[in-house]
Structure formats: C-alpha cells, structure tokens
C-alpha cells in the first residue's frame, strides 16, 4: 500500500469528525446548497443547446449537431453584422459602470466613516440604503417624471420660454441616465461591505498618525484605504467578471425605439432573438454561453493582474 492510500482514510475520518462537530452549520447551509444544485449546476447541462440545431419536437438531446464542431451559431453571431453594435454597447455601458459605479460605494463608505455625528450617520445610511429595495421600474418612473417631455425639468425649461428636450429619447444621453440611475440605486447598499471592513481598522493607527501630525487626507490614504485594499481588490475582480453582464432588468425598462441602437446589449440581444421575436433558442444559447466565457476570462485576467500588483489581492 502506498503512503497516500494510508493517509486518505485519515483525512476522510477527520473531515467526517468535523462535520459531526459542526453539523448545525451544515444543516443551515443545506437549503443554499440545494438551491445552487437545482438552479445553477443541473441547468448547466443545457449548454449543449448552443451546439445543436434545436427542434422542439426532438428535444435537446434528440436535436442534431449544427455546423462543423457545433460552432455554427458562434460563427454566425460574430459575422452577422450585429456583433460589433451589441458588443460595443455592452462594453460602453459596463465601462461607465466600472469607471463611476465601482468607486462610488467606496467613496460613500469613506464619507460615512469620517462623520463624527453617529445620529446623522445612521440617518444618512438608512436613506442611502432605501433605493436598493426599489425595483428598476420604480427608479425609471422617477427618472421619467423628471426628464420626460412633460416632466419636471422640461416644465422648468418651458416656464423660462425654452424648448422642451427629449432627454429619454436621446442616444448620447442614454448611457448617462443608465449609469447614474444604477449608481443612485446601489451606492448605499454597496457601501455596507466597505463600512463593515472600516469598522475593523485598528484605532491605534489613527492615534499614532495624530501624534505624527498627519492630516485627515493622509490618514484616509495611508491607513483607511490601505487597510481595506484587499477587499477593494476582491470586489474589483468580481466586478470585472460582470463586465459584459449589464443589468437586463434595467435595460428592459429603459430601452425604447429611439435609443435602441445604443441601448441593446448582449443580454437584451439574447432575449430578443431567443424569446421576444425570432425564438432561435440554440442561437440565443450560444450567445449567452459566449458572454459567460468572456466574463470568466475577465475574472481570470483581472485576478492574475491583481495578484501581480499585490500578493494579498485577487480571489485566489
């Protein structure tokens, strides 16, 4: 018998012993595990749909493979003339979300952390959290009431004798409405994890900095941000994984015929071709799989870069 075979039962026995000791935690985790198995892992078998010419009467497994190596739908998407537009729209909106949306919760957490009045801090936290619990339908209704042709802003313009502007039908303005409405909705909720990390920063570091005569800005830069740097790195890697995963719900409520050329993302294109109009399930599945592979590639690339910049950065 090899050394590994002798060690293996011991490892299994140790694992079982730990499971018996902490069985209550495994019991609490069981519903989550069942959820992910049923709705995340088992549906992965449907990926095969992207490589087949799906026929409803034949089913997924009875349908024939399409093209050479089953890549017909992927090649079609890359060469059909719409790829550049939807890919560019997705990249533009996602880049704006990362450029403005990623640092927003960090800045919010830093500002709240610097507040001296606990009462006002709690009030501001509560107010900033509330939009998270509001659906994008309600968020867009607020935007619509302010910026529609007959909305509040155009009402003020009309009162001064100025022409009304079609804000929500403007292609150049769409990406800014999309970006900042999303930031407004999520900035408070996104700051929670950073506030939790900031609460664990050693107070003695600030006291030592005060003795050395450090300014407030230097304390924020060299202590506060330095202490939460690994968390920021982790969040950035996860955010980059969703670079091509623009919010589908937000797109559905904000898109209209006038802004559709700049508003249609990969996710919405999958919805339109797969369910809304054409019902090309295999083609839509291929595009969705392509989008997921891009997201995985961005996670791996960003994690590698983060680890090279800082050994404590990244996910693994």
CA 245 to chain CA centroid, Å, is 7
Query: What's the CA angle centered on 187, arms 186 and 188, to 5 degrees?
Result: 95
For residue 30, what are the CA distances in angstroms to 36, 187, 292?
10, 31, 27
- Give the Cα separation of 263 and 90 in Å (integer): 8
Element (H, E) at 295: helix 281-309
In a domain, 315, yes or no: no
What is the DSSP code (8-state) at residue 212? Answer: T
In a domain, 213, yes or no: yes
The answer to whether the beta carbons of residues 106 and 232 sit under 8 Å apart is yes
- Give the Cα separation of 231 and 254 in Å (integer): 32
- Give the Cα separation of 122 and 143 in Å (integer): 26
pLDDT attached to residue 274: 83
In a domain, 214, yes or no: yes
In a domain, 74, yes or no: yes
pLDDT attached to residue 6: 43
Residue span of the structural domain in which 203 resides = 66-134+174-309
Compute mean pLDDT per 10 residues along the chain, 316 residues long, and list them: 49 82 90 92 87 83 80 88 90 91 91 86 89 91 91 92 90 93 91 88 85 84 86 86 82 90 90 80 88 87 80 68
The domain total for the chain is 1
The CATH number that applies at residue 82 is 1.10.3720.10
Residues 6+ apart with CB under 8 A from 33: none
In a domain, 226, yes or no: yes
């Amino acid at each position: 018998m090899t050394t590994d075979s002798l060690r293996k039962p011991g490892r299994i026995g140790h694992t079982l012993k730990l499971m018996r000791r902490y069985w209550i935690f495994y019991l609490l985790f069981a519903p989550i595990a069942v959820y992910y198995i049923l709705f995340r892992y088992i549906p992965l078998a449907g990926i095969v749909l992207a490589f087949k010419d799906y026929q409803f009467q034949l089913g997924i497994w009875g349908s024939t493979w399409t093209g050479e190596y089953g890549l017909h739908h992927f090649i079609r998407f890359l060469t059909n003339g719409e790829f550049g537009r939807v890919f560019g729209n997705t990249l533009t909106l996602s880049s704006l979300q990362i450029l403005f949306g990623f640092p927003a919760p960090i800045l919010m957490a830093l500002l709240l952390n610097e507040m001296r009045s606990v009462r006002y801090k709690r009030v501001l936290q509560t107010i900033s959290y509330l939009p998270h619990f509001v659906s994008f339908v309600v968020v867009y209704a607020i935007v619509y009431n302010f910026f529609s042709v007959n909305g509040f802003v155009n009402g003020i313009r009309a009162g001064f004798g100025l022409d009304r502007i079609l804000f929500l039908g403007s292609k150049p303005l769409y990406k800014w409405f999309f970006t900042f409405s999303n930031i407004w909705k999520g900035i408070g909720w996104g700051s929670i994890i950073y506030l939790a990390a900031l609460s664990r920063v050693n107070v003695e570091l600030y006291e030592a900095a005060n003795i050395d005569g450090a300014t407030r800005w230097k304390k924020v830069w060299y202590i506060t941000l330095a202490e939460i740097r690994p968390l920021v790195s982790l969040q950035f890697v996860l955010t980059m994984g969703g670079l091509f995963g623009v919010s589908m719900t937000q797109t559905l409520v904000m898109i209209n015929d006038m802004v559709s050329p700049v508003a249609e993302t990969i996710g919405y294109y999958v919805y339109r071709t797969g369910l809304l109009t054409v019902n090309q399930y295999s083609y839509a599945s291929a595009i969705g799989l392509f989008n997921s592979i891009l997201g995985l590639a961005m996670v791996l690339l960003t994690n590698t870069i983060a680890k090279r910049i800082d050994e404590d950065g990244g996910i693994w």
